[in-house]
């Protein structure tokens, strides 16, 4: 019986390797626009150097458009478990072509990556063959070994609390309490779920989990090798199936307790770096198609700061990105994505900014597998800052770097920051306006004070100078660019008690302002117990105690943990804070008296947020950023109507009260200590309320 042509020659889709059950065969498909020849290499389990079969594609039979493809029966696979390609083409860097027939190349669509014993990044950088030294793709026949048990997608709105963490660093220390074999893994995170629930987290945002090059030296993971495979170094088990199943089990465990999982994803560059970097995959398959090049095409654009930029305006690159997102959403059940340096998505094929209709932004938003997925942009790169309405992803959330900077500046004690603090706490309507032409929502602003970039919260109040000596290649001179203040003493050696007391107060101030602000709050793991990196504000390459959370500090600083926990609970109890709209007429701004002081030297402000429209309590907040105590007068109601929730000027456990245990205010005049925040609430059914 005559077979159809595609059963002999293969089809151009789907990309990567696909098992065709009815034909008992595998289909292979690889995009390369400028290649003149492609050879598929199949490897057995025990010999990653010598292929068990080589199949050189005939362009008349095995090429459709710009995609090379073939179909191989199971019997013809010769028991192969790994695969790779050799790709021929012009070796002409001046035209952007860097084909090298000696290089063994990883399929961009590989669903598993195998690193042979001889794996060598250095060999991939040098001329010559990389046989036995290059990463290989894993051939997947059945990818359904994990059984989802009625997995349900969580969905949080006004109670959304994002918690950014690093999979390895979160549990790597023995004092994390995690089972030894599971420290630094996806399974290790599952063991910390009771802690996360106690804290009140509703969303975990994982720093990059895409497979990276284990010899590249980037602990953070922002140098991806492949977009379709979870990083094996974060798995307790061995092998591709163990890694995938462990990741899925982690997601399912989080979902079971109503916690969303968001991935920090990097689609703007790869681990191949600049012209001196290794050739693993994209560069050897079709350098000119995958990467944005300078006018002199021998060199790469570097808007990311790490050596190269993917050409996200290219149709095929866009397809790789959307297919990858679909894979993680559909098959791995993740709930959202935070896009590293998302402004790269707005660059056209020449590297110019296109804010009108960048196709990748629209394609992500309308993709059927991504309709109900949360999209978060880091709306900047090295040379452009598109925060707020400038970014063309109208429905996307965005990391609000302006919130970070303005809040840090105010809490540090800088002059002229009262008005900007008011704007940030209101929801940053200057950046996310809700006029007729825009109609943004305040929750699109991801408010944060710290993230993986820059000082952690304790170091923010403990160091003026960055101490990055351990990084080896990072400047250690000068002040940190993230508006830090050491409270009068650099570091921890011999720190006076009064300085430490001020630092703890400042940590509580940052926490209070973050969770009292309209928008979506995000915090960094470990800030809730004053974890420290000893002044290192950029430990991207520190896979050691500098970056691993020190859980002994949870015991030492349990009062700070309690403050964070109760502030999160307070925010959840009061949906009036994190509304779907701006506060508008429900908020009244005051100062120490009846009017806010917006003068340059002012460092204090107060407000009353009325909650009746949200069926919520009223909230009164007094903020003193001045170096001396200030006497505020509460401008609304009688003293007996107000309950004191928190006063950051007091030590724990007096700094904050559990709900139902607050004490009534005794007088409308309240002495707010220097550099402190006071929070009051007036219950809906409180005494004397109309």
CA 199 – CA 568 distance, rounded (Å): 8
Q: Residue ranges of the alpha helices (H) in 609-681?
A: none
In angstroms, the CA 274 to CA 650 distance is: 53
Contacts of 22 (CB under 8 A, 6+ apart): none
Residue with tokens 């105010």: 410
Vertex 399 angle, CA 510 and 491, to 5°: 40
> What is the DSSP code string of 579-616?
-SS--GGGEEEE-SSSS---STT--EEEEEE--GGGT-
User: What region does 428 belong to: left with phi over 0, alpha with psi -120 to 50, or beta?
Assistant: left
**Residues assigned a catalytic role:** 340, 378
How, if at all, do strands 520-524 and 445-448 pair? parallel
Q: Is 339 helix (H, G, I), strand (E, B) or coil?
A: strand
| Structure-block tokens of residue 226 | 């492949």
- 126-138 burial by CB neighbour count: b if 16+ within 10 A, else e? eeeebbbbbbbbb
Structure tokens at 496: 């006076």
Tell me how long the chain is. Answer: 690
Q: Comparing C-alpha atoms, which of 110, 3, 114 is closest to residue 49?
A: 114
**Residue 284 to residue 277: CA distance in whole angstroms:** 12
CB atoms within 10 A of CB 552: 11
d(CA 305, CA 313): 19
Q: Among residues 325, 328, 204, which one has the least CA distance to residue 254?
A: 204
What is the spatial distance between Cα 90 and Cα 104, in angstroms, rounded to a whole number? 17
Cα–Cα distance for residue pair 67/63, rounded to 1 Å: 6
- From the list 33, 93, 112, 98, the residue with the least C-alpha distance to 279 is 98
């Amino acid at each position: 019986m005559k077979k159809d042509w595609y059963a002999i020659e293969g089809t151009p889709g789907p990309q990567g390797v696909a098992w065709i059950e009815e034909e008992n065969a595998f289909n292979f498909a690889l995009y390369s626009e400028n290649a003149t020849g492609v050879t598929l290499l199949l490897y057995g389990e025990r010999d990653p150097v010598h292929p068990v079969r080589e199949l050189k594609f005939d362009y008349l039979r095995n090429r459709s458009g710009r995609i090379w493809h073939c179909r191989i029966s199971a019997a013809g696979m010769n028991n192969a478990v790994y695969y790779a390609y050799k790709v021929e083409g012009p070796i002409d860097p001046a035209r952007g072509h860097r084909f090298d027939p000696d290089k063994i190349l990883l399929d961009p669509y590989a669903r598993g990556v195998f690193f042979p014993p001889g794996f060598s990044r250095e060999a991939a950088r040098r001329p010559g063959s990389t046989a036995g030294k290059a990463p290989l793709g894993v051939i997947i026949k059945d990818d359904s070994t994990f059984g989802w048990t009625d997995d349900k997608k969580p969905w949080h709105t006004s109670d959304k609390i994002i918690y950014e963490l690093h999979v390895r660093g979160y549990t790597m220390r023995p004092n994390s309490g995690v089972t030894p074999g599971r420290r630094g893994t996806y399974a290790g995170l599952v063991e910390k779920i009771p802690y996360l629930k106690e804290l009140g987290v509703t969303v975990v945002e994982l720093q990059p989990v895409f497979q990276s090059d284990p010899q590249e030296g980037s602990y953070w993971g922002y140098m991806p090798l492949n977009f379709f495979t979870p990083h094996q170094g974060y798995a307790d088990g061995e092998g591709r199936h163990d890694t995938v199943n462990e990741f899925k089990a982690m997601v399912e465990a989080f979902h079971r307790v109503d916690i969303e999982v968001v991935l920090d994803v990097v689609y703007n560059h790869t681990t191949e770096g600049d012209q001196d970097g290794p050739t693993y995959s994209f560069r050897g398959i079709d350098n000119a198609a995958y990467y944005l090049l300078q006018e002199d095409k021998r060199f790469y654009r570097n808007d990311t700061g790490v050596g190269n930029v993917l050409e996200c305006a290219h149709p095929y690159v866009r397809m790789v990105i959307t297919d990858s997102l679909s894979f993680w959403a559909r098959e791995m059940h993740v709930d959202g994505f935070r896009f590293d340096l998302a402004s790269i998505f707005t660059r056209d094929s020449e590297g110019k900014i296109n804010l009108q209709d960048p196709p990748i932004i629209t394609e992500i938003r309308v993709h059927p597998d991504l309709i109900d997925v949360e999209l978060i942009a880091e709306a900047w790169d090295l040379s452009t800052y598109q925060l707020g309405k400038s970014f063309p992803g109208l429905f996307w959330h965005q990391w609000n770097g302006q919130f970070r900077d303005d809040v840090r500046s105010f809490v540090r004690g800088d002059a002229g920051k009262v008005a900007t603090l008011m704007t940030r706490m209101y929801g940053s309507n200057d950046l996310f306006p809700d006029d007729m032409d825009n109609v943004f929502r305040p929750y699109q602003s991801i408010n944060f004070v710290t993230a993986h970039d820059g000082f952690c919260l304790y170091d923010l109040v403990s160091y003026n100078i960055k101490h990055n000596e351990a990084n080896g290649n990072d400047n250690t001179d000068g002040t940190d660019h993230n508006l830090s203040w050491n409270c009068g003493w650099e570091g921890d050696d011999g720190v006076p008690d009064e300085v430490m007391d001020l630092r703890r107060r400042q940590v509580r101030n940052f926490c209070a302002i973050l969770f009292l602000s309209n928008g979506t709050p995000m915090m960094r793991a470990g800030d809730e117990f004053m974890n420290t990196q000893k002044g290192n504000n950029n430990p991207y390459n520190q896979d050691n105690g500098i970056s691993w959370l020190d859980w002994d500090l949870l015991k030492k600083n349990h009062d700070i943990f309690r403050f964070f926990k109760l502030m999160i609970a307070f925010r959840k109890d009061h949906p009036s804070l994190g509304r779907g709209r701006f506060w508008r007429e429900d908020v009244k701004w005051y100062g120490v008296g009846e009017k806010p002081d917006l003068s340059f030297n002012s460092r204090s402000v107060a407000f009353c947020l009325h909650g009746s429209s949200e069926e919520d309590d009223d909230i009164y907040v007094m903020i003193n950023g001045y170096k001396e105590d200030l006497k505020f007068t509460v401008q609304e109601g009688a003293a007996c109507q107000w309950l004191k929730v928190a006063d950051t000027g007091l030590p724990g456990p007096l700094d904050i009260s559990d709900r139902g245990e607050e004490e009534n205010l005794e007088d409308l005049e309240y002495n707010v200590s220097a550099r402190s925040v006071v929070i009051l609430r007036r219950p809906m059914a409180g005494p004397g309320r109309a």
